[in-house]
Amino acid sequence: MAQRPTTISIKDVSKAVDQAVKAASEKHKVQFGAGFRFGPGTIMGRQLLQADIPISKAEQIATEITQQVPSAGQFEASVWVGRGIIICGFWPPDPVQFGLEQSQ
């Protein structure tokens, strides 16, 4: 029998990432882009605006962000580097289903 995907609210994840990014920004004296990067099957997180930090520091930041996300035990902290862009965030569990909530 196929495993039923975990359902995670995008609103809850986005809110938790915003709070985690704020904490990481203050602690590590770094800045992030405003947009939450989201794509099933890809890294989810925020763009780090300083491209000159060591990868080890970016990994530490990604781990701290991931630990503050609901269902964090299901996510894997990750850093994506390419084309002059660094994204600190996490990979979603496999399989995962994201729930969209309608505005009232």
pLDDT at 98: 57
- Inside any domain, residue 104: no
Predicted confidence (pLDDT) at residue 101 exceeds the cutoff of 60: no
- Inside any domain, residue 19: yes
Among residues 83, 102, 99, 71, which one has the least CA distance to residue 91?
71
Find the CATH number of the domain harbouring 78.
3.30.980
Domain that includes residue 61, residue range: 6-97
Q: What angle do CA 66, 96, 56 make, to 5 degrees?
A: 25
pTM over 0.95: no
- Inside any domain, residue 103: no
- Inside any domain, residue 26: yes
Q: How many domains does the chain have?
A: 1
- Inside any domain, residue 65: yes
With cut-offs at 50, 70 and 90, classify the pLDDT of residue 2.
low
- Inside any domain, residue 58: yes
Please state, in angstroms and as integers, the Cα–Cα distance from residue 5 to each residue in 2, 8, 66, 70, 96, following that order.
9, 9, 19, 16, 5
